[in-house]
Amino acid sequence: MLTEENRLKILKLLEAQPHLSQRKIALELNISLGKVNFCVRALIDKGLIKAENFQKSPNKTGYLYLLTPKGVEDKITLTHSFLQRKLKEYEALEKEIEQLRKDASL
């Protein structure tokens, strides 16, 4: 359930906004709250993020999600992999468009 795509999206989102609640993450990524909870727990278990309670917050269930050095490294690796995959898709699409242009000109 913790796909590379979800892992990358959550890591990128938490790096930019570590104070987000799981509910806001779910809304931002358009996935269920239960799925976000599962993914966040898996990221914590893998040592990619750590969760810290807000010390002086009246909302004691509020957390600050921080990427660990391992999490930053994983995000970079995932970003590189995602970019390579998208470049291959782009190249295949370019070839398909070129073929369609040739077919249309007949």
pTM assigned to the model:
0.79
Confidence of residue 100 (pLDDT cuts 50, 70, 90): very high
Q: Tell me the per-residue pLDDT of 41-97, one tens digit each, with 9 for 90 and over.
A: 999 999 999 998 766 656 556 789 999 999 999 999 999 999 999 999 999 999 999
Per-residue pLDDT reduced to its tens digit, 8-32: 999 999 999 999 999 999 999 999 9
Statement: residue 105 has pLDDT above 80? yes
Going from the N-terminus, what domains does the chain have, and what CATH number goes with each?
4-104 (1.10.10.10)
What pLDDT was estimated at residue 58? 62
Burial of 84 from C-beta contacts in 10 A (0-12 / 13-18 / 19+): exposed
Question: Which residue reads 């269920």 in tokens?
Answer: 32
- One-letter identity of residue 24: K
